[in-house]
Structure 1
Amino acid sequence: MHFRQLTCTSVLLACAIAVFAAPAPIAERDYDNEIEARGWDAHMIPRYRGNDLMAEAYRAAVLEARAPPKVVPRPAAKPVAKPAAKPPAKPAAPAKPPAKPAAPAKPPAKPAAPAKPPAKPAAPAKPPAKPPAKPGPGGPPPPTKPGPNKQCGAKNGKGKRAFDPTCPSNTLTLGGVTRPISKVGEQGNSAVTYKVDGGWPDPTNGQMVTAYAKTGSRPGTSFAEEAKWLAKTDQLLAEGTYDGHNFIVFHGVSGKFKIQDTSFFMTLYPFMQKGDLKSCEAAVMKKIDLIVKEAKVYVDKYGILHTDIQPGNILWDKAANDPTLIDWGRAKEVGKWSADIEAAVRKQAEFSHLKGEEKLCHDLSK
């Protein structure tokens, strides 16, 4: 029975395949597989086996099962939106119309008048006069001679100018002698020293001699003590008062200088540059001997001792071999020369030249 059912089923299936031109006959194993794939129970198959309707349904089911899976069409891809084109740039603004043509240039100004021919070249300046040596009492005279028009004092109502010690030049009248005077370069604290331009007449013979004049920086300053010693040493030429100022006029020395302006002083520089003060002082000591001898001359001749021996009160020739003592304001009478006087003079000269404020040797090596 069971075999019969299977045969009928096979016949039906074969007929179905033949009718519908199935691509291949259904084997029994395919049948069983289909039944298993559809999940149909075995007891359901015989129930509908004689039923054409069911056979048709079965046939359709088998065809559907054997048909290749339907290809599900993929959804059409959305077209990629093309980037929107940038709107075209605004057309550039039209160029500005060209500026108005510039006004025509003004006609050139009238040509300037031809330059005046150059003035005649000035005459070449005269070469400057040689600078004077530092003068002191007895030093060389300054190069220029002052005239009355160079005086700077106040007018005294008599057509002349009053004497003014601050002026570089003045006019001095003493004992009926009137001479122009000019200040020297170096001055003391309380006295003002002048060079008598053209010299002063010597009262003993009337001849013009080199002379200097001295007065105080303030009216009333007296030089009586110095005048006394100058008179005793034959150096005083005149003394008196002019426009309220006391004056003394005395012999000067020509061709003499301070020791710092001599050739001897230049020989001390190599020692000082090496810091060799002993050698420098040894050379100065030789000049101390000359100073002591000069002081002895005045004591032996006049009995007067110069008690203010220092570099500023001594003038020398260029080689520093012949000293001359000046500024006798502190001199004194001593009678005769002695060993004690010589020791005192030497001690003062050594201290002022080697140790004092005006010492000559300095260490220049540092």
Structure 2
Amino acid sequence: MTERDIGIDQDVEVRNWASEDMVARYNVEDRYRAAVLEARKPPKPAARPAIAPRPNSPPATRPNAPASRPNTPPPRPNTPVSRPDTPPPSKPNTPPVQRPNTPAPRPNAPAPRPNAPPPQRPNTQPGQKPAADQCGAKSNGKSKRAFSTTCQTNSLTLGGVTRPITKVPDQGSSAITYKVDGGWPDPTNQQVETAYAKTGKTPDLTFEDEAKWLRKVDQLLAKGTYEEHNFIVFRGVTDKSRLDATNFAEQLYPVSGQDKVAECEALVKEKLELVIRKVRAYVDQFGILHTDVHPGNVLWDMAATDPTLIDWGRAKDVGKGRWSEHEADVREQAEFSHLKGGERLCGWSYESRDP
């Protein structure tokens, strides 16, 4: 066994390491040299520990690479990017949510009531009658609407008493008469009485004379001004109407034509005797004469046996016990208005007479 060794002097010496003389000579030196040579060798890499494979596990696969972008030029500035023609994924068995067909409410706007029509402004113009919802007392009861003679219903307050009032069918030329709903308290005993109220079609109309006569015959319940209109409230009657609207009309209508005037007038004169007796009773008791006894100012019960005189605006103070001085005038005026005047009950033609 030989080894080539290079010395300092660059001489090459071949030694025989198997000879006995070399063993002892180089025993120590060669072991040192061998150790130096061994140290000069590069270190061996450490062996990696073996990793035991997982049982029944498939080899790991790399994740799918992201899809490459389409070869489209980049979008221009301010140009919307078109979406690919692929439908969005939908949830399984889930119907799409539909938006209600109603616009979104504006901020601070009240929510519309269900199935309620939108509020409308009243169609009123100057000189035009107000709508029904503008008349009468407000529904909340906290305030009232202004009084208007054009309204069918209104609210009246006099002397601390407030009542709703409703127009009666028959109206005069200058005054408006209302039925007081719920009656009016009698100022003497606070008992609620059937009552009517009257005011003028214009605010300047007063009822001083009529109020004076009503007070004398104990029929005036209240008097005053409300919403710049002058009012009087007086006693009324219930279940009474004009003579031709009572059961007496069944006897009157068959003879009310022009061919049976005499027979009709005889029936009406019988009823006028009851009216004249009532007029005399007021003269004897109060000294007040009712001078306007026409069909519209006399109300009857359905049996046509008890007349009631209304509208005392033209009454006169004649004094008690002086009926004989005025009887003829009262009879003449009553018969003319019932038999000959525009409100006559007899002598109508069947073509012009209302059924």
Pair 1:298-2:282 in alignment = yes
Partner of 1:12: none
Residue from 162, 185, 204 that aligns with 1:178: 162
Pair 1:346-2:346 in alignment = no
Name stretches of at least 5 consecutive residues in structure 1 with no aligned partner: 1-148
Partner of 1:152: 135
Do the aligned residues in 1 keep the contact of 2:256 with 2:347 (CA within 8 Å)? yes
Q: Give 3-state SS (helix, strand or coil) of 1:277's partner.
A: helix
Q: Give 3-state SS (helix, strand or coil) of 1:276's partner.
A: helix
**Number of corresponding residues:** 216
Residue from 260, 267, 288 that aligns with 1:276: 260
Do the aligned residues in 1 keep the contact of 2:258 with 2:347 (CA within 8 Å)? no
Q: How many Å apart are 1:227 and its aligned residue?
A: 0.4
Question: Compared with structure 1, are the counterparts of its residues 270 and 244 closer, same or farther at alpha carbon in structure 2 (3 Å cutoff)?
Answer: same
Structure 1 runs of 4+ off > 6 angstroms? Answer: none
Pair 1:321-2:301 in alignment = no
Partner of 2:126: none
Partners in 2 of 1:305 and 1:332 — Cα distance? 5
Partners in 2 of 1:287 and 1:309 — Cα distance? 13
Question: Compared with structure 1, are the counterparts of its residues 276 and 154 closer, same or farther at alpha carbon in structure 2 (3 Å cutoff)?
Answer: closer
Do the aligned residues in 1 keep the contact of 2:136 with 2:155 (CA within 8 Å)? no
Partners in 2 of 1:154 and 1:197 — Cα distance? 13
Do the aligned residues in 2 keep the contact of 1:272 with 1:280 (CA within 8 Å)? yes
Partner of 2:146: 162
Task: In structure 2, give the amino acid aligned to 1:280.
Answer: C
Task: In structure 1, give the amino acid aligned to 2:344.
Answer: K
Task: Choose between structure 1 and 2 for higher RCO, CA contacts under 8 A separated by at least 6 residues.
Answer: 1
Residue from 192, 202, 210 that aligns with 2:176: 192
Q: Give 3-state SS (helix, strand or coil) of 2:256's partner.
A: helix
Task: In structure 1, give the amino acid aligned to 2:309.
Answer: L
Do the aligned residues in 1 keep the contact of 2:176 with 2:200 (CA within 8 Å)? yes
Do the aligned residues in 2 keep the contact of 1:276 with 1:363 (CA within 8 Å)? no
Question: Compared with structure 1, are the counterparts of its residues 151 and 180 closer, same or farther at alpha carbon in structure 2 (3 Å cutoff)?
Answer: farther
Partner of 1:260: 244
Partners in 1 of 2:323 and 2:226 — Cα distance? 42
Partners in 2 of 1:284 and 1:255 — Cα distance? 21
Q: Deviations over 1:298-326 (max 9, x none)?
A: 00110000001100100011121111110
Pair 1:209-2:223 in alignment = no
Q: Give 3-state SS (helix, strand or coil) of 1:309's partner.
A: coil
Q: How many Å apart are 1:346 and its aligned residue?
A: 0.6
Do the aligned residues in 1 keep the contact of 2:137 with 2:154 (CA within 8 Å)? no
RMSD (Å), alpha carbons: 2.0
Q: Tell me the TM-score normalized by structure 2.
A: 0.58
Partners in 1 of 2:317 and 2:157 — Cα distance? 31
Residue from 228, 250, 254 that aligns with 2:212: 228
Partners in 1 of 2:349 and 2:212 — Cα distance? 43
Partner of 2:82: none
Question: Compared with structure 1, are the counterparts of its residues 220 and 345 closer, same or farther at alpha carbon in structure 2 (3 Å cutoff)?
Answer: same
Question: Compared with structure 1, are the counterparts of its residues 220 and 274 closer, same or farther at alpha carbon in structure 2 (3 Å cutoff)?
Answer: closer
Question: Compared with structure 1, are the counterparts of its residues 202 and 162 closer, same or farther at alpha carbon in structure 2 (3 Å cutoff)?
Answer: same
Partners in 1 of 2:137 and 2:223 — Cα distance? 24
Q: How many Å apart are 1:338 and its aligned residue?
A: 3.3
| Larger fraction in helix | 1
Please tell me whether Structure 1 or Structure 2 has the larger radius of gyration of its CA atoms: 1
Partner of 2:5: none
Partner of 1:307: 291
Name stretches of at least 5 consecutive residues in structure 2 with no aligned partner: 1-131
Q: How many Å apart are 1:154 and its aligned residue?
A: 11
Partners in 2 of 1:172 and 1:201 — Cα distance? 14
What is the aligned-residue identity percentage? 61
Q: How many Å apart are 1:327 and its aligned residue?
A: 0.1
